[in-house]
């Protein structure tokens, strides 16, 4: 599983950009999102911007990552996952198998 970091672009020069995450700045490859401009929020994996995202989505992702960091050191989750206001559900094919009594492979 990949975890992307939301970053805000502060400068673009060709296919490279300088972005910030609140803790500092970093160089980001913009080859996959050549339309990105300073001020845009991007989702970056391993130093490469994969998508341009909305500011509210960047805030939700940042909050979720902060909650995960907190849990990893024994702290609280807080309300970082408040947008998940529904109980978890199985994909239809797995729910059908469970409903049929299959609960193992």
**Could you tell me which of 11, 8, 2 has the C-alpha nearest to residue 57?**
8
pLDDT value at position 78?
72
Number of neighbouring beta carbons within 10 Å of residue 80: 19
pLDDT of residue 64: 85
Could you tell me if 48 and 62 are in contact, meaning their C-beta atoms sit under 8 angstroms apart?
no
Q: How far apart are CA 87 and CA 69, in angstroms?
A: 23
- Predicted confidence (pLDDT) at residue 14 exceeds the cutoff of 80: yes
Angstrom CA distances, 38 to 29, 33, 89, stand at 14, 12, 39
Token digits of residue 55: 């500011």
Statement: the pTM of the whole predicted model exceeds 0.75 = no
């Amino acid at each position: 599983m990949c975890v992307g970091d939301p970053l805000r672009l502060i400068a673009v020069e060709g296919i490279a950009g300088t972005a910030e995450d609140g803790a500092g700045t970093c160089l980001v490859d913009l080859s996959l999102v050549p339309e990105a401009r300073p001020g845009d929020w991007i989702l970056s994996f391993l130093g490469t911007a994969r998508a341009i995202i909305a500011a509210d989505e960047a805030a939700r992702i940042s909050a979720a990552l902060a909650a995960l960091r907190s849990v990893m050191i024994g702290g609280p989750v807080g309300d970082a996952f408040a947008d998940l206001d529904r109980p978890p559900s199985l994909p239809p094919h797995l729910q059908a198998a469970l409903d049929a009594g299959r609960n193992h492979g």
